[in-house]
Structure 1
Amino acid sequence: MNIFTAHKREVNGRVEIQTVFEHSRGTADLGERYAEKIDTPVIARMQGMIHDAGKLCRDFNDYILEKNNFTRGMIDHCYAGARYLMELAKKTGDPRMVEVARYISHTVISHHGLHDWIDKDGNDYFRERISKDERYEEIRSNLIEMLSEQEWLNLLYAVKEEYMVIRGKVAQIGKDTTTFAFYMGQFERLMQSVLVDADRTNTADFQEGKGTEAVFEENIWEVLSEKVEEKCGEFRERKDPLSKLRCDISERCKCYAERETEICRMIVPTGGGKTISALRFAIHYCKKHGKERIFYIAPFRTILEQNCEEWKRIVGEEYVLEHHSDMIASFKTEEEMAEYELRADKWDMPIIATTLVQFMNTFFSDRMDSVRRMHRLCNSVIIIDEVQSIPAECVCLFNMGVNFISTIGKSAVVLCSATQPDLEKVKYPLRITDSKEYSMTGDYSGDFQALKRNEIISALRKFGYTYVEAARFCMEKYRTEGTVLFVVNTRAAALQVYQELCKQKDSEMILVHLSADMCPEHRRSLIKDLKEKLKKDKVICVTTQLIEAGIDISFRCVIRSLAGMDNVVQAAGRCNREGKDGECCPVYLLNVCEEEIYALKSIKTAQDVSRQIIESKAYEDLASVEAMQLYFQKYYKECKENLMYNVEDAGMETDLVNLLSMNAYRNCGKKSYRVQAFKTAGELFKMIDVPTTSVIVPYNEEAKELMVQLRTETSNSEIAKILRQAQKYTVGLSEKTKRILEKEKALELLQCGVWLLEEGYYDQNVGVTLKRGTWIY
C-alpha cells in the first residue's frame, strides 16, 4: 500500500507523520465509540474511514510535507469519498442504498463546514460537488487499496441496517413531511457532530502525542451520589418547617429518578430548594439509567454562575465545566486557558453548566464548534432552568430540538420553572413524556401554599404612571416597607426612574441602579454589595429584568412595570424570599406610560396578554400555575405567526423550520428530505437577535490598564490574551447609542477592531453615559 500523509508533527527535531489510513482508522474507532450511545456505531465507522479519502493522492501528501506550492484549501479533500460512496450505492440498484450513501456523503463533504444542499438559485449543491473529478482516479485506486470494493460495499450494507432503524424512529416523531425532514436533518447534524469531534480529537491526540479526552472514574455517579446525599443529610438534620419541605421536595425528585423519562417538568416554588433537588435527580438518574453526563442550562449568566457555584461546592469543581463567555477572564496562565478551551470545545466533563444560547447553538448555529458538541448532549440528563425565558421566535425550534435529543439522542430533559410555558399547544409541540403527572414533584399545590411569601397586586391605572409618578409610588412603598426593588423593561426607563428617585431620596436611603449599561464586573460587584446592604439598611434598587430570574436576593417589596406574567412572577421571586415572620409581602404592578416599548413588539404583546389575565379577575393568585398556563396559551396564540423564527431568504419571507426541513422555496415545492439549507439557517440563527457593538469601558484601574495595553500591543496572541481579561469590562451598545457616542467622539476604534470608551463616559452609578459627566439619557 502506498503511504499518504494526513498530518505531521515535529518531535525532538525530526518530523513524524500520521498516515491517512492511521488517521481514518483512528477517527473511525473514536466515532464508533461516540455513536454507541445512539445505536449508530457502523455509520460512524463508515464516516471515519472515508472522510479524508481526498488525501489519498500525491499532491496532498506533498502539500503536507511542504514539497509543492499548494496552500490551504487549494485541494478539495472532502468530495472524493462522497463520490465513491454514491457510485458504489448506485451499482446495487437499491434506492435505499443511494439514500443511505447520500446521508453519509453529506457529513463527509461538510466535516469542515456546513452547506446548503439546495442553494439560493435552486441548484443541487451536492450534485455539483460530487461531479468534480480532480485526482479522482488516483484517489479511487488508493481507496480500494485501503479496503477492497467488496469490503466497502459490505460496510455500506451494514450502515443501511442501522440507518433504517433510525429512520423508523424518526418517522415516529416526525409524522408529517416537514417534521420528518427536520428530524432527519437533525440526525445528519448529529452524525456530523460525531465525525467532527472524532476527526479533531484524533488529530489533536497525534499532535500532542497523548490522549486529549477527559477521563474520570468508572463509578463516577456512585461517587457523586454519595456527595449529594451527604449534602441532603445536612437538611434532614434541621427541624424547621422550611427545611422539612425542601427535604420532601428533594425526596420526590430522587424517587422520580427511578423511572425512565424523555421530557418531564420540575415545578418547585421559589425557596423550595430547586437547585439541589435538580442536581440530586440528575445524579441518581445517571446512576440508575447509565447516562454519561449532566447538563445544566440557564438563560442568564447570573443564574448560571450562582447555581453552578452551589453545584461545585457539593460535588467538587473538578467534575464541573462552567462554559460561558465570562469564564475566559478567570484564567491566569496559558496552560489553564488551553485546558479550559479544550474542555469547552469537547464538552466531555461529567457535569457541564452552560447558557441557553450555547445549548440552542448546538442544534442550529453554523459554527463548527457548536456542531462538534451536539453528540455530547446524547445519553445525558439535561436540566433546563427558567424554561419560560425561551424567546417566542425560538419556541418551535426549541421544542423540535428537545424532541430530537430526547428520543433519537436518548436523553432525559427536565424543564425547570415555577412558571411553566405551555409548549405542547403550538404548531410544533413539545412531546412531554408523562402527561398524567404534570411535575416530577407530584401535587405541587401544597408546596406553593406553604412557600407563599408574597402577593401580586395590580396598581394599573387607565392612563398609567409618568416617571415622576412611578418614583413617587416607589417612595411611598419604601417608607412603609424599608426595602424596594423596582423592575422596569428598558435601560432608559431604569435610568429615568433612578434620576427621579435621586431627587426624592432621604438621608437614610441607599439608592442603587443596575443596568446592562454596566459591564459584568460592575454589576457583579453591585449585586454582591447590595446583598450585604439589604441585611441592615434601607434600600431601593432600580433595575431592568437582569436581576429578576434566579438571583438569590430579597426585598420587602417589589414593584414591576407591566410585562409578561412570567416576568412578573420571576420579579416576585425577589420579594420576601426568606418568608420572615410568616408575612405575605406586596408585589405591585404599574403601567409606566413613558416607557418606550413600541419597537419592542414581544414586550408589548406580553403586556397586552397580562392585562387580559389581570382584568379577567379569574385568578385570585396571579402567580398560580393555572394562571401561567392560560397566560402562555394566550401569548403563544398572539405570537403564533412568529414562533418558527421568521427570516428573509433570497428576498422571500420564510422561517428556519422550513429552511431546516423541506426548504420549500429553494426546492420549488418538491418533496425531498435531503435539501436543508444548514449554512444559511445557521448564519441567520441568533438566540439573542439584538444587534450590539461590544465596547471596553474604563470601569476601574484594571480595565483602564488593559485599554492602555490594547492601544500599544501588536502581537495577535497578546491581544487575544488581553481581550480575554477585558471580557468582564465590556458593554453591548445599541446602534443608536453607538451613533450618539461616535458623534460625541467618545469611542475609539483600534487597529485590531476593538472599540474603547473614553473616560468621562462611564459612571459608577449608571454605567455608560451619552454626555461626558452627566446621566442624561
Structure 2
Amino acid sequence: MYIAHKRDDGEIHPLISHLKSTAIIAEEFAKPFKAEKYAYACGLLHDIGKYSYEFQNRIKNNGKHCDHSTAGAREALKLGNSGKLLAYCIAGHHAGLQNAGFASDTGNEATLASRFKKKIPDYSNAFDEINLPEINIPKMPNIKGINKFGFSLSFFIRMIYSCLVDADFLDTECFMSEGKVDRRSDYSFDLFLDSLNREIDEFKKKENNEINYMRNRILLKCIQKSNHEKGLFILSVPTGGGKTISSMAFAINHLLNNKMSRIIYVIPYTSIIEQNAKEFKDIIGGENVLEHHSNFDFSDDEEEVNNKLKLSSENWDIPVIVTTNVQFFESVFSNKPSRCRKLHNIANSVIIFDEAQMLPAEYLIPCTMAISELVANYNSTVVLCTATQPALDQLFPKCIRIREICEYTDEEKKLLNIFKRTKIIKREELNLRDLADELNERNQVLCIVNTRRHALELYSKLKKDGSYHLSTLMCPVHRREVISKIKVKLKTGQPCRVASTQLIEAGVNIDFPVVYRSIAGLDSIVQAAGRCNREGELKDENGNKILGEVHVFTPEKKFVSHQPYTFKRRIEVTKGIIRRHDDIFSVDAIYEYFKELYEVSGEEGLDIKGIYKDLESGVHFNGTKPQENFNFDFENIAKEFKLIEDDTVPIIIPYSKDENDNAARELIEKLKFTEKVGGILRSLQGYTVNVYKPEFDWLFSLGIIEPVKKNIFVLTDMSSYDSKTGLKIDKEIGIGIYV
C-alpha cells in the first residue's frame, strides 16, 4: 500500500484515498464557478510524486526529504492547452504559486519552467492506481476574458489553486485529527433575516422626524433593490443615513434571492472592524461572524486551537466575514497557500466594500479588475458603499454594468441636506505659533496634521491643562488610554485640545465641535470632518442646532518638505477643488476630486507596480484566441502588491499605565524563553511602535533598544518613552508622513 500520511499512533493514510478525497472536495469547491473538472484533476494529480520509492522510504523509514509536487505538474502539462494552468497549482501546493520562469532555466531555479527540467524520483507506480487518460479537462476555462484575457486567466489559476490547497489541507486534517475537528456550524440565512427584520422593526419605531424618515427611505430602497440579479452595485448613503443596517438588509435579502453562500464586509481600517462586527453579531450571533484582518493571520508555528472562528479564518467558511482592504486584496494577489485557501469561498458571495473611496489609488486598477473578475466570472455581487461619489465608475471595464441601489428623487436629494453636520472654513497658511494660539483660545478642539514632527511641536505649544497628543510614536495601548481620557473630557465639557496625526481619522468614534485639518487629499479632509459634530447635536447658546466648523489650513513650509509625490499630488488636486467649489463636501466636488485625481495619476499612477499590466501580458494570441504561453510571475506579484509598504521596524515598548501594570513586561519575559512566538507577538502588538529604518538605526546606535530574539527588538530605556508623546525620536529624523 502506498502511503500519503502517517499519524503518531502509527495509523496510515492510503495515498489513493487522499488523492480521490482531495479531488472530490476540490471539485465541490469549484462548483460555484463551474470549474469542477479542473479542480478534480488538480486534486487527483497533486501528490502523485508520493508514489516514488524515495517518498515511501521517507514516510516509512524516516528517509531523506524528496520532491513530490513536480510529478503532478508534469502530468498536468500532458492534459492539453490548459494543462499549464493546473501545473502552477500542483507545483505550488506547498511552497506557493511560482514565477513562470524562462526556457533557459536549468532546473535549479524556483520557477515553474525549472520544475519541468528538474531531476525528480520515478513516480510511475502511480499508474497502477490512477488511470491518467481518464482525466479530462476543457481546452480553455469557460470564463469571460476581460480586456486581453491574461488577468482573467491568472485569476482563474488562483481560484483553482485555492480549491486545491483548501481541499488538501481539509482532507489531511481530517485524517490527522481522526475526524475530530468541527469546522462547520449549522446556520440559516432565513433565521438571520428574521432577526434582521426584528431589528428593522425597532429601527422604524424611532422618533418621527426628517432624519428617520430619510433613513427609512434608504432602508426601503435597499430592500427593494435586493431582488435584482447578481452584479456590481453602488450604495450612496450620507453619513448618519443608517448605512450599516441598510447594507445588511440588502446583503441578506440579495443572498437569499440569488441562492448565494456568504457575506463579506471589507472595511478600510483595522480600528473600525470591532465596532462594525459588533453590529452584525448583535443581529445574527457572534458565532456566525468572523473578524479577520492582517493582525490576525495565524502563523505556521501556531499551536492547534480547536476554535471554530480561528479555523474559519483560514478559509472563510463562515456566514459573515468582516475584514480589511489589506487582508482582502493582499490575499487575492498572494501566492501563499495559507492566504489563498480562502479565495474559493469569495465566489458566490455578497461582498460589500465600506467607504469604497478609501480603496488605495496607487493600486486601483488591479483592485477594480479583481472586483470585475469576481462579478463577471465568479458569481459574486459587489457593493461599493460610500458617503461620497468617488468616480470609480470610470475605472471598471465597459462590460461591467454598475447599478445604483439608492436612486434619489429631487425631493429626496433636498432632504439629504438634513444629514449635513459641518461647514468648511477655508484658511491660508498658519504658522505654528498662530495655530497654537487659535487652538488655545478654544475650549474643545482637534487639530490633525500630516507629520509626527508637526504634531509634537504643536502639542508643545498648547496649554498643559486638557491638552493631548496622539501619534504612532505612542503604542496602541497608550493611545487607547489617551482616547478614553479625551472622550471623558468631551462628554463632561472640560477643556480638551488635541494635536494628532491622521491616525485619529481611522474610524475613531470621537466628537469635537471644531476640527482643524492641515491640507491633505480631500478624502482625508472628509474623514477628518467625520470627527466633528458626529451626532449633529451641536447647539448655540440659545439651544439652536448649528454646524460644526472644519478649518482647512496650509502648514508652514518646514512641515511639508518631505512629502511623498503621491501625497503632494492629492494636495494639488484638493487645492483646485477648494478654489472652484464653495462646498468642497458636495457630491459634485468630491466626484470631481476623484475624477481629476485618477486622470492626473494616469494608468501608471493607479497601478504603480505595473501588476495589472504584467498579468495581462502573460498571454499571447493567435488571432483572437489565447495561445498556451500563460507566463505569470505569481511570486513577484505577491511581493509587489503591498497596500501598506512595510518599510518600518517594530519596537516593543514595555509600557505600563501604572506601577501595578506588568502585562507588557511579563509577555516580554515569556518571549525570551519561548520557541513558538506567534501568539506572544500578537499579544504584544498593542505595545509596539513602528519606526522607519533611519530612526531605528539612530535608536540602536544609542544603545536603548536590544534584540530579544532574531529581528525582535525591545526598548530597554524607558526614559526614552514619554508618558505624553511616546517614543522620543530626533526631530530631524522623525518626519514620517501618514502616521
User: Deviation of residue 48 (structure 1)?
Assistant: 0.6
* Residue identity matched to 1:4: Y
Tell me the CA shift for residue 28 of structure 1: 0.9
**Which among 446, 454, 457 is matched to residue 422 of structure 2?**
454
SS in 1 for 2:402: coil
Note the C-alpha offset of 1:351. 0.9
- Report what 1:628 is aligned to: 590
2:678 paired residue number:
720
1:4-41 per-position Cα deviation (integer Å, ceiling 9, x unaligned): 1111113xxx4111111111111111111111111111
Out of 582-591 and 536-545, give the one that drifted further: 536-545
Mapping for residues 377-396 of structure 1, pairs under 5 Å? 377-396=346-365
Counterpart for residue 77 of structure 1: 68
Give the one of 189, 200, 210 matched to 1:232: 200
Residue type at the aligned position of 1:229: N
3-state DSSP of counterpart to 2:392: coil
> What SS does structure 2 have at the residue aligned with 1:223?
helix
1:102 matched to 2:84:
yes
Q: 1:25 to 1:120 in 2, by over 3 A?
A: closer
Q: 1:568 to 1:99 in 2, by over 3 A?
A: same
- Report if aligned partners of 1:562, 1:591 keep a CA contact under 8 Å in 2: yes
Native 8 Å contact 2:618 2:630 kept in 1: no
1:661 to 603, 607, 616: 616
Range that drifts further, 439-448 or 513-522 = 439-448
CA-atom RMSD, angstroms? Answer: 2.8
Residue 373 of structure 2 is aligned to residue 404 of structure 1: yes
Question: In the TM superposition, what is the alpha-carbon distance from 1:682 to its structure 2 partner?
Answer: 0.9
- Give the counterpart of 1:53 among 48, 56, 63: 48
Residue equivalent to 1:578: 535
Shift of 1:451: 0.5
Distance (whole Å) between structure 1 residues aligned to residue 407 and residue 277 of structure 2: 22
For structure 1, which segment, 413-422 or 601-610, has the greater mean C-alpha deviation from structure 2 after superposition? Answer: 413-422
Q: Is the contact between residue 650 and residue 689 of structure 2 (CA under 8 Å) also seen in structure 1?
A: yes
State the shift of 1:763 in Å. Answer: 2.3
Asked if structure 2 preserves the Cα contact closer than 8 Å seen for 1:263 and 1:406, the reply is yes
Separation in 2, partners of 1:556, 1:685: 39
After TM superposition, the structure 1 = structure 2 runs for residues 320-719 of structure 1, keeping only pairs within 5 Å, are 320-326=289-295, 339-426=308-395, 429=397, 433-435=401-403, 437=404, 439=406, 445-446=413-414, 448-459=416-427, 461=428, 464-476=429-441, 478=442, 482-502=443-463, 507=465, 510-537=466-493, 538-580=495-537, 581-593=544-556, 594-596=558-560, 598-616=562-580, 619-647=581-609, 655-662=610-617, 673-700=629-656, 701-706=661-666, 708-710=668-670, 712-713=672-673, 715-717=674-676, 719=677
| Contact 1:692–1:735 (Cα < 8 Å) also in 2 | yes
- What is the CA–CA distance in structure 2 between the aligned matches of 1:23 and 1:442, rounded to whole Å? 59
The alpha carbon displacement at 1:85 in A equals 3.3
The equivalences for 1:193-204 within 5 A come to 193-204=162-173
Matches of 1:734 and 1:685 in 2, distance apart?
Answer: 20
Q: Does structure 1 conserve the Cα–Cα contact (< 8 Å) formed by 2:652 and 2:687? A: yes
Distance (whole Å) between structure 1 residues aligned to residue 646 and residue 608 of structure 2: 15
Helix, strand or coil at the partner of 2:478:
helix
The match for 1:259 among 225, 228, 237 is 228
Number of the residue aligned with 2:216? 247
When residues 702 and 723 of structure 1 are mapped into structure 2, their CA distance, relative to the original with a 3 A threshold, is farther
CA contact (8 A) 1:484 1:539 kept: yes
Preserved CA contact (<8 Å) 1:487 1:571 = yes
CA-CA distance at 1:445 after TM superposition: 2.8
Distance in 2 between residues matched to 1:420 and 1:490, nearest whole Å = 28
Secondary structure of 2:492's partner? coil
Distance in 1 between residues matched to 2:632 and 2:51, nearest whole Å: 30
- Aligned-pair CA distance for 1:365: 2.3
CA distance, structure 2, for counterparts of residue 318 and residue 146 of structure 1? 42
2:129 is equivalent to residue 146 of structure 1: yes
Q: 2:393 touches 2:402 (CA, 8 Å); kept in 1?
A: no
Judging changes above 3 Å, is the alpha-carbon distance between structure 1 residues 212 and 764 closer, same or farther for their aligned structure 2 residues? same
State how far apart, in whole Å, the 2-side matches of 1:408 and 1:208 are.
Answer: 36
131, 134, 142: which one pairs with 1:165? 142
CA drift at 1:438: 7.1
Distance apart, 1:434 and its partner CA: 3.0
Per the normalisation by structure 2, the TM-score is: 0.90
Once the two structures are TM-superposed, the CA of residue 473 in structure 1 deviates from its matched residue by: 2.8
More helix by share: 1
Classify 1:664/1:561 alpha carbon distance in 2 versus 1 (closer, same or farther; 3 Å).
Answer: farther
Partner Cα separation in structure 2 for residue 376 and residue 440 of structure 1: 31
- Whether contact under 8 Å (1:744, 1:771) holds in the other structure is no
CA distance in 2, matches of 1:365, 1:675: 17
How far apart, in 1, do the equivalents of 2:237 and 2:545 lie? 19
Q: Is the 8 A contact 2:619 2:630 kept in 1?
A: no
* Amino acid paired to 1:232: I
- Aligned match of 2:725: 766
Distance 1:776-1:86 versus aligned 2 partners, 3 A rule: closer
Look up the SS of the partner of 1:604 in the other structure.
helix
| CA offset digits 1:716-760 (Å, max 9, x no partner) | 13x333223212111111112212212322211123431111312
Partner residue in 1 for 2:540:
none
Pairs aligned (count): 707
Report the CA distance shift for 1:346/1:776 in structure 2 as closer, same or farther (over 3 A): closer
Contact 1:400–1:430, Cα closer than 8 Å, also in 2: no
Match of residue 94 from structure 1: none
Q: What SS does the corresponding residue of 2:291 show, helix, strand or coil?
A: strand
Letter in 2 for 1:635: L
Cα distance in structure 2, aligned partners of 1:18 and 1:306: 44
Encode CA deviations 1:48-80: one digit per residue, 9 max, x unaligned: 111111111222112112x15313xxx221222
| 1:6 has 2:7 as partner | no
Task: Tell me what 2:14 maps to.
Answer: 19
Structure 1 equivalent of residue 276 of structure 2 = 307
Q: Which runs of 5+ in 2 are unaligned?
A: 538-543, 621-625
Q: For residues 722 and 590 of structure 1, do their structure 2 counterparts lie closer, same or farther at Cα, with a shift above 3 Å needed?
A: same
Q: Deviations over 1:470-497 (max 9, x none)?
A: 2223234x2xxx4212111122222222
Percent identical pairs in the alignment equals 31
Unaligned segments of structure 1, at least 5 residues: 90-97, 648-654
CA distance in 1, matches of 2:450, 2:359: 17
Distance of 1:110 and 1:682 partners within structure 2: 14
Which deviates further from its counterpart, 78-87 or 682-691?
A: 78-87
Residues 325 and 727 in structure 1, CA contact (< 8 A), matched pair in contact too: no
- Say whether the 8 Å CA contact 2:672–2:708 is kept in structure 1: no
Shift of residue 149, structure 1, vs aligned partner: 4.3
Task: Classify the secondary structure of the residue corresponding to 1:144.
Answer: helix
- Secondary structure of the structure 1 residue equivalent to 2:696: helix
Moved more, 19-28 or 301-310: 301-310
Q: Quick one: which amino acid aligns to residue 135 of structure 1? A: P
Match of 2:262 in 1: 293
Cα distance in 2 for residues equivalent to 1:58 and 1:644? 51
Matches within 5 A, 1:32-51: 32-51=27-46
Closer/same/farther in 2, CA of residues 706 and 776 from structure 1, 3 Å limit:
farther
CA distance in 2, matches of 1:753, 1:727: 15
Indicate how the Cα distance of structure 1 residues 471 and 671 shifts in structure 2: closer, same or farther if over 3 A, else same. Answer: farther
In the alignment, the residues of structure 2 paired with residue 675 and residue 123 of structure 1 have an alpha-carbon distance, to the nearest angstrom, of 17
Instruction: Provide the rounded CA distance (Å) in 2 between the counterparts of 1:677 and 1:205.
Output: 33
Deviation for aligned residue 1:193? 0.8
